[in-house]
Chains A and B, each alone.
Chain A
Amino acid sequence: MSSLDQVFVSAQTALFQLLPEALRPWAGIAVRIGVIAALAPAVMMYLTLFERKVIARMQNRFGPTRVGVYGLMQPLSDGLKMLIKEDIVPRHADRLLHMLAPVTAVAPVILLFAVLPIGRNMVAADLNVGLLYIFAVASVGSFAIFTGGWASRSKFSTLGAMRAVAQLISYEVPGALSVVALIMVTGTLSMVSIVDAQAARWFLFTPWGFVAGVMFFLCGVAECNRTPFDMPEAESELTAGFHTEYSGMKFALWYLAEFLEAFLVCGFTVTLFLGGWQGPAVPFWLLATLLAVIVGMAQKLPLPVRAVGVLVLAAAGLLWRADPIPSWLWFTAKTYALFFVLVWFRGTFPRLRADQLMGLAWKFFLPMALLNIFAAGVWVSYPFPMGTIASVLLLAAGAWGLVRINQPASSHAPRTYVLAD
């Protein structure tokens, strides 16, 4: 175990040495809760900035630049704005439920952080039923959305809530089924053990893992209502869907829930299929040097900040020059890379229609997930060349067949356009 990798764990242990024996378990719980409660909003705030920046760049724009250098203070200013905004509740709304709904949306999402292994030995609670816990807790979110939409007493909210419930329930089925293949292969439900099982090979690079991973990720995207599956809050159709009637901090809570859920979808996909916190053993000093160069060349930062940044990074590189890049950095990097993909989708795609979305879940994802379980069985039962080839063929044939069956007849016909005089 390298020292950099375990720097947070060691720090915690050192801190606990100062406490009396009896208090240590309680201190452990308190620290975990504190870290998650503090980190989650911070993560969310900078995810909004990240998303705005990336999408702006995809659209030839700068994105936020006015508040702080590179717009780094923008999330704080947004948060402050949300806090001081008037809280409007429709006159006929159910005031209690209207207030409870956003809270119910945020709570389960924060609870999910508990089983997310963000580094080696760095998980708040290594439940032996981790996967079940994820699906159980995540499904509470649909109650929140329906409560919020219903309590608003607005037609747009109700329509959005109806869509949301239909969509969330539909996508939970293939999402859960795609993980079954994983459970079959690893034989465990614990997130930590699943990451450990990927020490030799990330599951994404197996035939069943690829299919399951893509499906899990897409179902996750659908569960957190993001483009191209953002039906419940379809801005151009339903103004804002289930949160049309929310303002101020309650609205911010909906956003908090949505962004954290998106982050968690990325995090869980990384954990389950992309090797979690594992990564190639690249020396840490390489990364430190690269970061030092980037910070040194960031022209808009004030000179003292740049100097201090470069010095700190150089010192870190020197101090841990023998260490590889630590596990928690790998996990963060992978998760943000996946979040970039989410943002990239959002910057590119229009959304599907509600019925097409349902069709995708029930007609394509569900049979594909079932087939994938079978393919995983084949992959496990037969040794390397045979099992792999057989499962690849099986999945390819299945995907091809499903696409053919579900293709609307109209799209076969090529369109002709006459250029008349």
Chain B
Amino acid sequence: MALIGSGVLQGLGVTLRTFIETYPWGKALLGVLRIRTGQGLVTIEYPDVRQQHHERQRIFPFLVYDGAPDNLRCVSCKICEQECPPQCIHINGPAKDEQGRPAKVHGRTYPVTFDINVAICMSCRICVDVCPFDAIEMDNEFELSTEERFGRLVFNKARLLKSNEYFQQIKPTEAAEVDARLAAKAKPSPKPAAPAPAAGPTAAPAA
């Protein structure tokens, strides 16, 4: 029964070193003794200290509007609803006027209701990929837990709407790309083209 051996002692050495190096004095001591130190404490005290997340982090979609909240980019084409793998998006629209023709605000149709269920969404970003209007983007706000299951876990249109400025703030790189693309699209015709998913996307700058 070779219980005690060099392997066991080496293991003890590793844990002791890790213990010591988590203290500032310990790190100094190990430095004096010329022992290679690791990284010390790696966890953070969460509510007090927050980790810097990369801007690509995707948590949950939101709807982008330009300027005023009624000027949302979504035209209620329902492509995202169709493509969403877990089918957590529910759109009612486009809005109709009294004669039954599509109602338009700022020259665009718009959804009457737009609900996304947080409990079902799996943050895959496919809705963003397929949206021809860059109307839906991924938010990086992650503290979405609530105490109520049915009322608050379905986000309605009002809750989902966020300004383009917010988008530029949380994801500068991506927002700049989107803005450039929209500007290029806006030049030839002032109104965006009719929803045509199969018409071939404008190539996203991938590189």
Residues of A within 8 A of B (CB): 54, 57-62, 65-66, 344-345, 347-349, 352, 356, 359-360, 363-364, 402-403, 406-407, 411
B3 touches A60 (CB 8 A): no
When the two chains form the complex, which single residue of B11, B16, B18, B45 contacts A60, counting CB atoms closer than 8 Å? B18
Q: Contacts A364-B3, A403-B1, A403-B2 given; indicate if A61 touches B43 (C-beta within 8 A).
A: yes
8 interchain pairs, CB-CB under 8 A: A57-B22, A59-B18, A60-B40, A345-B12, A347-B15, A360-B1, A406-B2, A407-B2
> Is B19's beta carbon under 8 Å from chain A?
yes
A58 touches B18 (CB 8 A): yes
Q: Nearest chain B CB to A404's CB is how many angstroms away?
A: 9
> Is B41's beta carbon under 8 Å from chain A?
yes
Per the bound structure, the CA–CA distance linking A54 and B38 in Å amounts to 17
When the two chains form the complex, which single residue of A58, A345, A406, A411 contacts B19, counting CB atoms closer than 8 Å? A58
For A359, list chain B residues within 8 Å (CB).
1
For B42, list chain A residues within 8 Å (CB).
60-61
0 or 1 for each of B75-99: is its CB under 8 Å from A? (1 = yes): 0000000000000000000000000
Q: Nearest chain A CB to B17's CB is how many angstroms away?
A: 9
When the two chains form the complex, which single residue of B11, B12, B19, B38 contacts A57, counting CB atoms closer than 8 Å? B19
> Is B39's beta carbon under 8 Å from chain A?
yes
Interface of A, helix, strand, loop or mixed by DSSP: helix
By beta carbon, the residue of chain B nearest A411 is: B2
Per the bound structure, the CA–CA distance linking A66 and B44 in Å amounts to 12
Q: Nearest chain B CB to A70's CB is how many angstroms away?
A: 12
B12 touches A60 (CB 8 A): no
Q: Contacts A348-B12, A348-B15 given; indicate if A62 touches B41 (C-beta within 8 A).
A: yes
Which residues B7-66 have CB closer than 8 A to chain A?
Answer: 8, 11-12, 14-16, 18-19, 22-23, 38-43, 45
Given contacts A57-B19, A360-B3, 10 further A-B contacts (CB under 8 A): A58-B15, A60-B38, A60-B41, A62-B41, A66-B45, A344-B19, A352-B3, A360-B1, A363-B1, A403-B2
A65 touches B19 (CB 8 A): no
When the two chains form the complex, which single residue of A62, A65, A344, A402 contacts B15, counting CB atoms closer than 8 Å? A344
By beta carbon, the residue of chain B nearest A403 is: B2
When the two chains form the complex, which single residue of B1, B11, B14, B15 contacts A356, counting CB atoms closer than 8 Å? B1
Per the bound structure, the CA–CA distance linking A178 and B85 in Å amounts to 68
By beta carbon, the residue of chain B nearest A404 is: B2
By beta carbon, the residue of chain A nearest B42 is: A60
Q: Nearest chain B CB to A51's CB is how many angstroms away?
A: 12
Q: Nearest chain A CB to B124's CB is how many angstroms away?
A: 32
A344 touches B2 (CB 8 A): no
Q: Nearest chain A CB to B146's CB is how many angstroms away?
A: 22
Which residues B145-191 have CB closer than 8 A to chain A?
Answer: none
